């Protein structure tokens, strides 16, 4: 008997039958960025909660992985942009191993998109522009939290925040040196669409040496 059964759960029996139509090779955009934009707009139009939420996977040089949810905050012809504390665990791993993977999952649409590629920090100008577009208290939160570090209590964090609120009352909050953006430049995309009988659609785009994209259909 599995632990899930002993506790009244039947995880093995949890399944969803996908009935939505998939997508054909002829319907996809030859440019994966344009295909991403089309699916992202569909998620927004469908009122998917936090449609810009994406799972970010990083790893140490010896292959120890870690994963978390972050928010997509920009996209351009060079890649996908998000912001965080450079001294966090993910920041340390990206410094040592500047490769990562992203996953967008929109269950309402039975779709997911995987993106893999290289990571680099965005310019300080880009980081400053986004930082100062955030709410005042969110800016102070970046200073209050030394992300991923051990703290003695919740009260310790709240006291740090209260001190900063008083210190920067009516004043501009400077961009922390330890905080800013990253850009993932894709080398591969995979677009997944759920289909009946688990015969899902999977189309993979691979970047070629001349920066063109090769599209291949993968077995589900």
Confidence of residue 6 (pLDDT cuts 50, 70, 90): low
CATH number of the domain enclosing 78? 2.30.110.10
Same structural domain, 190 and 211: yes
- Local structure of residue 195 (DSSP, 8 states): -
Residues pairing with 216 in the sheet: 204
Query: Does the annotation count 118 as an active-site position?
Result: no
pLDDT at residue number 175: 98
The residue segments making up the domain with residue 74 are 15-131+182-217
Q: Structurally, how many domains does the chain consist of?
A: 2
pTM of the model: 0.89
Contact 62, 125 (CB under 8 A): no
pLDDT at 183 over 90: yes
Would you state the structure tokens that stand for residue 35, as one six-digit string?
């295909």
Same structural domain, 127 and 139: no
Same structural domain, 166 and 210: no
Q: What is the pLDDT of residues 20-62, one digit of tens each?
A: 666 777 789 999 999 999 999 999 999 999 999 999 999 999 9
Same structural domain, 76 and 157: no
Q: What is the pLDDT of residues 53-92, one digit of tens each?
A: 999 999 999 999 999 999 999 999 899 999 999 999 999 9
64, 198, 202, 217: which one is catalytic? 198
Same structural domain, 59 and 90: yes
Residues pairing with 100 in the sheet: 117
Contact 86, 160 (CB under 8 A): no
Average pLDDT over the chain reads: 92
Residue 182 to residue 123: CA distance in whole angstroms: 9
Would you state the structure tokens that stand for residue 132, as one six-digit string?
């100062």
Q: Does the residue 6 lie in any domain?
A: no
Helix (H, G, I), strand (E, B) or coil at 87: coil
């Amino acid at each position: 008997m599995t632990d899930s059964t002993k506790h009244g759960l039947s995880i093995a029996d949890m399944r969803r039958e996908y009935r939505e139509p998939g997508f054909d090779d002829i319907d996809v955009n030859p440019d994966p960025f344009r295909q991403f934009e089309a699916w992202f707009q569909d998620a927004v139009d469908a009122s998917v909660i936090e449609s810009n939420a994406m799972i970010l996977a990083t790893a140490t040089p010896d292959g120890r992985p870690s994963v978390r949810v972050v928010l997509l905050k920009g996209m351009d012809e060079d890649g996908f942009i998000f912001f965080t504390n450079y001294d966090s665990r993910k920041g340390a791993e990206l410094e040592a191993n500047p490769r990562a993977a992203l996953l967008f999952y929109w269950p309402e649409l039975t779709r997911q998109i995987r993106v893999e590629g290289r990571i680099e920090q965005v310019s300080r100008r880009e980081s400053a522009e986004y930082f100062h577009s955030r709410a005042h208290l969110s800016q102070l939160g970046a200073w209050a939290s030394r992300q991923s570090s051990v703290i003695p209590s919740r009260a310790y964090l709240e006291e740090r925040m209260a001190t900063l609120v008083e210190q920067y009352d009516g004043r501009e909050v400077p961009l922390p040196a330890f905080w800013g953006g990253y850009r993932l430049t894709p080398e591969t995309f995979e677009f997944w669409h759920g289909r009946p009988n688990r015969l899902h659609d999977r189309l993979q785009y691979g970047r070629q040496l001349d920066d063109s994209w090769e599209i291949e259909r993968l077995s589900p």
